[in-house]
Structure 1
């Protein structure tokens, strides 16, 4: 099952603060909902264990997360691969980072995911709604934490 999302998050922080935040795997990991544990491999790679609930499919999923900052393009790329409970997730996301005149930053984001296994069989609308909520929560959490930094 293929899923695609896009949206925007206006962050009450300068582009410099945003770049500093998104290049820190520990800070990015702290924005994941239902985070159980995180192992930072290096400055671009981590393994996160999160609680997942999609309809009747509930459990713990493990994801390899690769951060690929591209400051010269004003873009942050993220690749997430992993799964659990017999399900697999492969997600590629990006955010264009745009400084605004009022010293805020607009994150113009998009993502595409492929889901297979039991999580994909719960039905398109249930999975779609959960995945959208997850992505929007991550960006909202990032926006809030960047504003506080």
Structure 2
């Protein structure tokens, strides 16, 4: 199963705060829904997330890398994972914008590929679940950045 989506949101934090946040893989990993455990490494983060899809229940073990491009004000995130006999690959990118009012806009796009029982269990349901997970990840990111912006204001 493959799925793509895109969107845009604003956060109440300066671009410098947002840029510092998205460069740290462990910070981005904390935004994943159902995250249970995060281990930070110098160049990546590892996370365990709870999965519930149909009758399947268990844990996915993920490796998350961020690749910042400061000149383009763009960060690319790659997540690879395995668990429950399935594999997951997520590629996402966000471009930061500065509307000039102390906030930051993020235009994002993402693509998820799932193989194995997780893809087979859900069919069409899995697409809506994938969309919800992507949206929730970015909502969590937005909430954490808004909180970071308000503590610095």
TM-score clears 0.5: yes
Q: Deviations over 1:95-149 (max 9, x none)?
A: 1111113221111111112111001112332111111111111111111111111
The corresponding residue for 2:57 is 58
Q: Is the partner of 2:131 in helix, strand or coil? A: helix
The corresponding residue for 1:13 is 13
Contact 2:66 2:78 in 1 (8 A): yes
CA deviation after TM superposition for structure 1 residue 74, in Å = 1.0
Contact 1:29 1:38 in 2 (8 A): yes
Aligned residues: 148
Q: Is the partner of 1:92 in helix, strand or coil? A: strand
Structure 1: where are the runs of 5+ without partners?
none
The corresponding residue for 1:84 is 83
Q: Deviations over 1:65-118 (max 9, x none)?
A: 111111111101011111211011111110111111322111111111211100
TM-score (ref. length: structure 1): 0.93
Contact 2:78 2:91 in 1 (8 A): yes
TM-score (ref. length: structure 2): 0.91
